[in-house]
Amino acid sequence: MPGGHEQTYRGKTILVVGAARSGIAATRFLLAHGAHVILTDSKSEESLAALVDPLRRLATPPAELALELGGHRMESFRGCDTIVVSPGVPLSLPYFEESRRHGIPILAEVELAYRHLKGKILGITGSNGKTTTTVLVAELLRGSGLKGHAAGNIGVPLIGLAEQSGVEDIYSTELSSFQLEGIRDFRPAVGAILNLTPDHLDRYTGFEAYIASKERIFMNQQPEDFAVLNADDPRTAGMAARVRSKPVLFSRRTQPERGVFLRDDRLIFRDGESERELFETGDIQLKGSHNLENVLAACAIALLAGANPNSLKQVIRDFHGVEHRLEWVADIDGVQYFNDSKATNVDSTIKSLEAFPGNVLLIAGGRDKGGDFAVLRPFVSKYVKELILLGEASGKIREALAGTTEIREAESLVEAVRICRRHAQPGDVVLLAPACASFDMFHDYEHRGRVYKNAVRALIANG
């Protein structure tokens, strides 16, 4: 169980690498426990002032805070007791090699949190659908009268919940492959891999290395734990024979002995001995077959964590999705505008396109993550009437998709929205589903999604 590795940080030097949400939350926690914290980030102190200035007030003796911003210092990586890493920081950096040579432990923020949280941890990873599933699991738990929390890589650092945690809390935790690289003892009572498609290949040596990082979610599980796996994805289904925990499958196409599956238009839960109907697919408010998979997975996870099967139906009826995930924005003169800024890889863009019958004006582009844009060709040909490209990867995407549809380019996301406004006709869909990371033009996918929504709303305001 988490919470069983209480550490004493008083007098210890902890290097926190990365001053984003996870790093700031970890720094707060460590300062509260009397540590000497060195917070380092490649960004300048001026750009991070709003985040780091409040930390200075927390650095009261015996706690100390040192800021090393605008670049990293090798001596700090070799002269500390422990390193805590934010998920956006590659563990392949040469600085960490120096730390490893000196035998310094390197921990993900979620590993630090695991050592202090009380209650039950549920871990959810995969290439797509993590955030929707994570939030839905927490909603299903709360709808059953349990103390469910959504946290992790959705913008709520797990360590930020440690001080107030209790034994009745259940943490539905989104985990990226980057976070899983830095775990050591982290052990979720229920771990889930939703699907596996090529992603972040700019950071990994290949697809197999990426898969291996995801599979680490199960590495500390024991026979009393559960591994929730997608039976329809051969890469995840094959893991059922390798895990030490109990495999539980979810499927749209098959009927596993233990898991949640689809029979006609009904969702069924089977525990290995008996089965029961949960609700009908008509109760699901989310668009797209991929979201049906997310619902199947979320129900399996929530039920294994103790949710009452009778409570699921109402929560599913009330759940309309998560911001920036195939989010409806507006209807302007019969044209529907959707924001799927979280579609940061090729597969997620395919799933987004498949949620519509066609007539899509697709806005795509950004920073290339090493994906194969040519995989999009049949889907763009089938669903997309115009493709509007922007960002660093626009040239590569244009080359990969040449001849599939009308292709235009925009200098900004606002211009892309305006182009769509000029060319869209009633019955069309304008969809932001970039297939790329956002960091060439935006702080993150949330920033990109907000800019898109504001641009759409400006169309309304301007008539």
Alpha-carbon gap, residue 360 to 104, rounded angstroms:
51
Give the angle subtended at the CA of 402 by the CAs of 398 and 405, to the nearest 5°. 105
Alpha-carbon gap, residue 296 to 365, rounded angstroms:
31
β-strand partners of 215 = none
What is the dihedral angle through the alpha carbons of 255, 260, 265, 266, rounded to the nearest 10 degrees?
Answer: 120
Going by DSSP bridges, is the β-strand pair 120-125/190-193 parallel, antiparallel, or unpaired? parallel
Predicted local confidence at residue 199, as pLDDT: 61
| Residue range 141-174, pLDDT digits in tens | 999 999 999 999 887 899 999 989 999 999 999 9
Predicted local confidence at residue 190, as pLDDT: 98
| Residue range 102-119, pLDDT digits in tens | 999 999 999 999 999 999
pTM across the whole model: 0.80
Alpha-carbon gap, residue 33 to 273, rounded angstroms:
48
| Beta-carbon-side half-sphere exposure of residue 446 (alpha carbons within 13 Å) | 6
Please name each of the domains of the chain with its CATH number: 13-104 (3.40.50.720), 111-318 (3.40.1190.10), 327-461 (3.90.190.20)
Q: 430 and 361 in contact (C-beta within 8 Å)?
A: yes
Tokens, residue 338: 């959707």
Backbone angles phi, psi at 125, to 5 degrees: -140, 180
- What are the residue ranges in the chain where pLDDT is below 50? 1, 4-5
Predicted local confidence at residue 273, as pLDDT: 86
Predicted local confidence at residue 154, as pLDDT: 83
Q: 362 and 431 in contact (C-beta within 8 Å)?
A: yes
List alpha helices for 268-412, DSSP H. Answer: 289-304, 312-318, 346-353, 377-383, 394-401
Q: 321 and 285 in contact (C-beta within 8 Å)?
A: yes
Alpha-carbon gap, residue 234 to 231, rounded angstroms:
7
Q: 192 and 125 in contact (C-beta within 8 Å)?
A: yes
Tokens, residue 321: 């999705």
Predicted local confidence at residue 104, as pLDDT: 97
Bond preceding residue 62 cis, omega within 30 of 0: yes
Residues making up the chain, counted from first to last: 463
With a pLDDT cut of 90, the percent of the chain lying above it is 80
